[in-house]
Amino acid sequence: MKIKNVEMVMSAVSKAQYPSEGLPQIAFVGRSNVGKSSLINTLLGRRKIARVSQTPGKTRTINFYEVNKEFYFTDLPGYGYAKLSKQEKSGWGQIMDEYFIHSRDLKHVFVLVDIRHTPKPEDVSMVDYVRYYNIPLSIIATKADKLTRSNQMRAIQDISKTLKVSKEDIFMISSLKKTGQEEVLEEVEKILAEQKE
């Protein structure tokens, strides 16, 4: 896929601000600090369109990136950040519910997990949540540069088992080394092609 045109159109706090022209949306979700914004930058070939956080867990908006006037990538707020208050945590749930309930245009969710760790209970819940809404999903194991090749293979096995996702639906990327993004973009192309059928 060729990225010709990218525009960050909205940093939304409520559904009134979601884009409304009916283009398909593909969302990225995962623990705070897992590398969502970095991945979006890597995929779009823009160094700084999505803000890479200095203060993890503080992104409380849904950021919509319009690509090629054809679809949106949405960067969802991260979860699992220990230092948040109860109130801030329930705010996260409300933002997510509002998005998932109202997004008929949401066609696919990429759930990101850090390749170095066995997915946590919150990651399992996230996958269950997406399944509950019947949205197709795949997993992206981030920060692959942090492991050797043999440990990467072991980690993918572990992620597959913990999240009950087949290995074909797990991508492995490094935003640092810029590896793996082609495969993810190919998947995006497939998702969009299915919409047009």
- What does the DSSP assignment read for 58-123? ---SEEEEEETTTEEEEEPPPB--TT--HHHHHHHHHHHHHHHHH-TTEEEEEEEEETTSPPPHHH
Q: How far is the CB of 61 from ligand GTP (least distance, A)?
A: 10
Our CB check for ligand GTP shows the closer of 46 and 146 to be 146
- Nearer to ligand GTP (CB atom), residue 87 or residue 166: 87
Contacts with ligand GTP, 78-117, as mask; x by CB under 6 A: x---------------------------------------
Interface region with Mg ion, contact rule CB under 5 A, candidates 11-19, 28-36, 63-71, 141-149: 28-36
Closest CA to 39 of 122, 145, 112: 112
Q: What is the dihedral of CA 15, 81, 172, 44, to 10 degrees?
A: 40
Alpha carbon distance 116, 155 (integer Å) = 7
Nearer to Mg ion, 55 or 148 (CB): 55
Only segment of 12-20, 119-127, 157-165, 174-182 that touches ligand GTP (CB under 6 A) = 174-182
**Which residues sit at the interface with Mg ion, rule CB under 5 A?**
36-37, 53, 59
